[in-house]
Amino acid sequence: MFNLKWIRKPIFWLKHKLSRNQFLIVAGVLVGLTAGMASVILKTIVHYLHRSFTIDLPYNSDRYLVYFLPLIGLVLSVFITHQFFKGKDGRGIVNILNDIAVRSSLVDKTKMYSQIITSGITVGLGGSAGLESPIAVTGSAIGSNFGRIYGLNYKDRTLLLAAGASAGIAGAFNAPVTGIMFAAEVLLAGIGITEFIPLIIASVCGALCTKIIFNENILFHFKSLQHFNYWNVPFYVLLGIFCGLLSMYYASMALRIEHMFLRFKTQPYQRALVGGLLLIGLYFLFPPLMGEGYESVKKLANDEAISVFASSWLGTKLPSSVLIITLFIGIIGLIKVFATSITIFGGGNGGNFAPSLFVGAYVGYFFSSMFNLLGLERQLPVSNFTLVGMAGILSGVMYAPLTGIFLIAEVTGGYELMIPLMIVSVSAYLITRSVHKHSMDNRLMAEKGEIFTDDRDRNLLTSIKMAEFIDSSQETLAPTDSLADLIRIFRINKQERFAVIDDQQILKGIITFDMVRDDVFSNAQPETVLISDHMISPAAVININESLPQIMNKFDSTKSWHLPVVENKVFKGFISKSAILNSYRKQLIIHSGN
């Protein structure tokens, strides 16, 4: 195996010679360049695979064979995941958020390359998903493992994790500001990290990698724009509302398809087969659904929808009227979520970042074209609405309005559309956020308390492990024990509370010394007084699987300071509220950097 000591040794030397902030800057450069190169490698693989098999082919019988490639991609992705990565694909940004909250920002080493392999195969062979999520996961793994190797603390490790993701996103779009916004909105929400210099440096390095290596026809870049006209503001407001509603539709359909594929949870190859066959049917009718779809997005932005329509089977059967083409574009925008969800839940690797941009472009084109067909006195600029729609759906699906705003501003080479971008992105985000507090990818884990949210107290409690607070060393009593047994134990260790359990260790109640104080100091014979006569049910019982936020709610509602912990009714020990609060204070210091 290649020995990396010659690389690590000078970096360790720098760590000891430089201040913390200086070393983080150096680390930001190294992580940014590495994540940027990972982005270059993945985008290059997918670009040339996709172009070799699916782009610019005439519509004829030979093209039918192309539609089977996604099936092969899903099967290969499943095979590689199970044979080489033990079935742990670690897909999606939500798993990185879980690593931040639950695993102290320690990301599995295999994610530094597994995402490139599986997503490259999935999307390169036509899977209808995006590469930005795998790129962000790869960059996060690079940043996290850099911090682990060089012994950085949780706070600095999290910062480098975000820097890696930022560099990956920046490299994917040649948009450094977008990378920073993505990391700040999606990964660092609620953590309270303020040192963004390494993040900025890493993002710039990631963008430079693609800027230097790629030529422009590979990059996601637009130049065909019209000047912003303030008379169109009401239409942008309507587009924002439309994008918000469609974002909720996107999330709802994705969750339904995920539920549909759960029946194949233990049958990964059957799942891939079903998913691949469904994709074949969709691609036959709507070829633009294949892959990331950025080529067709560029055509829409340049008002070349007729070429998108002509590449399909329907394009050979239906007249090429403006209305037919517009309806065709609208239908593709609606069913993209099906193709993407089938690809992801069918066993492929990819994310919803690119698909949300795809849907937004098609929605923006459809929206503006339909209004233009009404014969308005002032025609809407289709290119502008196509691009602004991309930011709207991205904001509504990913809950990242700043990312959507700055992404489109950067890839269009200016800030001409800043006002409509703000209107549409914020409108879509507010509509979806008013219905669901968390995005569709994060919703389940956020509700379980397994990822950080904008609730800072809950975040800190989530990062504390309950197991370390369970005191299982205390003496217990049986219901048939006497008061004399309690007095004997109390004389030895001054224990104040006792769990009363049966022969199977099942919790029956609790008893404290205060409950029997009168009997202890009376003339009663302690051997004749049974524990069962004085024990009471606890104010609340904590299940060992409950999260700390749930536990703190029980402490607050019962006004208790000590509660018993059980697992399947078996007593495990007591947990103290004061111990949790002390640990909370320590976590508050760590997260605030004081």
Return the H-helix or E-strand segment holding 574.
strand 570-576
Q: What tens digit of pLDDT does each residue of 294-311 get?
A: 888 888 888 888 888 887
d(CA 130, CA 119): 8
Mean pLDDT of 168-175: 87
pLDDT of residue 61: 46
Residue 580 scores a pLDDT above 90? no
d(CA 277, CA 351): 20
Residue 495 scores a pLDDT above 50? yes
Find all residues with CB under 8 Å of 26, minimum gap 6, and list them.
Answer: 11, 14, 18
Q: Where residue 58 falls among pLDDT bands split at 50, 70, 90?
A: very low
**Coil, strand, or helix at residue 130?**
strand
Of 15-19, 164-168, 218-222, 452-456, the poorest mean pLDDT is in 218-222
Q: Where residue 461 falls among pLDDT bands split at 50, 70, 90?
A: low
Q: What tens digit of pLDDT does each residue of 122-147 get?
A: 998 889 998 889 999 999 999 999 99
CATH of 230-455, one of 3.40.50.720, 2.60.120.10, 1.10.3080.10, 1.10.3720.10: 1.10.3080.10
Q: Where residue 416 falls among pLDDT bands split at 50, 70, 90?
A: confident
Pair 425, 392: CB distance under 8 Å: yes
Pair 526, 487: CB distance under 8 Å: yes
Return the H-helix or E-strand segment holding 565.
strand 562-567
Most confident of 88-92, 209-213, 250-254, 523-527: 250-254
More confident position, 5 or 212? 212
Q: Is 486 left (phi over 0), alpha (psi -120 to 50) or beta?
A: alpha
pLDDT of residue 19: 86
d(CA 397, CA 355): 10
Among 305, 302, 303, 293, smallest CA distance to 223 is for 302
Please indicate, yes or no, whether the overall pTM of this predicted structure exceeds 0.85: no
Residue 594 scores a pLDDT above 70? no
Residue 457 scores a pLDDT above 80? no
Considering the chain, what percentage of its residues have pLDDT values greater than 70?
86
Q: What tens digit of pLDDT does each residue of 338-396 get?
A: 999 999 999 899 989 999 999 999 999 999 999 999 877 778 999 899 999 999 999 99
Mean pLDDT of 571-587: 78
Mean pLDDT of 553-578: 86
Q: Hey, what amino acid is at 568? A: N
Considering the chain, what percentage of its residues have pLDDT values greater than 90?
30
How many angstroms separate the most distant Cα atoms in the chain?
Answer: 104
Q: What tens digit of pLDDT does each residue of 265-278 get?
A: 788 899 999 999 99
Mean pLDDT of 13-37: 89
In CATH, what class is 460-592? Answer: alpha beta
Mean pLDDT of 222-234: 78
Residue 552 scores a pLDDT above 60? yes
pLDDT of residue 455: 55
Domain with CATH 3.10.580.10 in the chain: 460-592
Return the H-helix or E-strand segment holding 509.
strand 507-512
pLDDT of residue 249: 96
Q: Where residue 587 falls among pLDDT bands split at 50, 70, 90?
A: low
pLDDT of residue 219: 47
Query: What is the CATH superfamily name and number for domain 5-213?
Result: Clc chloride channel (1.10.3080.10)
Residue 397 scores a pLDDT above 90? yes
Measured CA distances, 200 to 119, 193, 195, 406 (Å): 26, 13, 10, 14
Mean pLDDT of the chain: 83
Most confident of 13-17, 255-259, 445-449: 255-259
Q: What size, in residues, is the chain?
A: 594
* Cα end-to-end distance, the chain, whole Å: 41
Q: Where residue 454 falls among pLDDT bands split at 50, 70, 90?
A: low
Domain with CATH 1.10.3080.10 in the chain: 5-213, 230-455
